[in-house]
Amino acid sequence: MTRDISPLLVLDLDGTIADTAADLIGTLNFIMAREGLAAVSLASGRAMVGAGARALLERGYAASGQSVEADELDALFHEFLAIYESRIAQETRLFPGFESALDRFAAAGWRFAVCTNKIEGPSVKLLTALGVAHRFEAICGQDTFRIEGEAISKPDPRALTLTIAQAGGAPSDAVMVGDSRTDILTAQNAGVPVVAVDFGYTDVHVSELGPDRVISHFDELWDAVESLRNAG
């Protein structure tokens, strides 16, 4: 794809664009209940979200002192996706200020992409249900890119650089926005500056993970990105 001269804002999805925890944990608990395992509370479950459905299932089982074999995990993963897609936006909401922030960046010539460890199909479906899918040049998930048959997902920096390329941008003109260790590490490994939101899903405060900037509301994103660009 031909590179566009416009700067590109690349955002994570779960815990960054939208508060998806209630629907994700609700899906997990449906499976946990069927398997006779204890439900995961929303409060504790928020720290389990963000690395994809397989990781969420493994963490849910681990919280009950159980492990899950690879074959069973694969079957549970596909079941999880089917259940989740049926309730994908029942309780999920965009974080406050997100659309207004995009409006300000768009007015200044910025373009947008999503780089998530969610599967691409559900990611598109969710962003469509939330009314914002059309705003992104690319929506890339953990199954979007494959190299020699291997799926490329965060924290592999190629997940980010390939998303940037698919959106028609370049790493030198991009800024990553995420909420977790995975997002920060991905951006750092790709040589892309990263802004971390502190309202997402992480087991430690994002300020401890070395992002370039930390924000607590999308109203702060413009100034954070401008300070990064002014700093070179």
Catalytic positions are 12
Are 101 and 221 contacting, i.e. CB atoms less than 8 angstroms apart?
yes
Nearest-angstrom CA–CA distance, 20 and 130: 11
Nearest-angstrom CA–CA distance, 85 and 121: 9
Give the up-direction half-sphere exposure of residue 107: CA atoms within 13 A in the CB hemisphere. Answer: 7
β-partners of residue 93 are 19
Give 134-195 as a DSSP string: GG-SEEE-TTT-EETTEE--TTSHHHHHHHHHHTT--GGGEEEEESSHHHHHHHHHHT--EE
Nearest Cα residue to 50 out of 90, 17, 10, 99? 17
Nearest Cα residue to 216 out of 188, 169, 179, 173? 179
Taking the CB of residue 118, how many other CB atoms lie within 10 A of it? Answer: 28
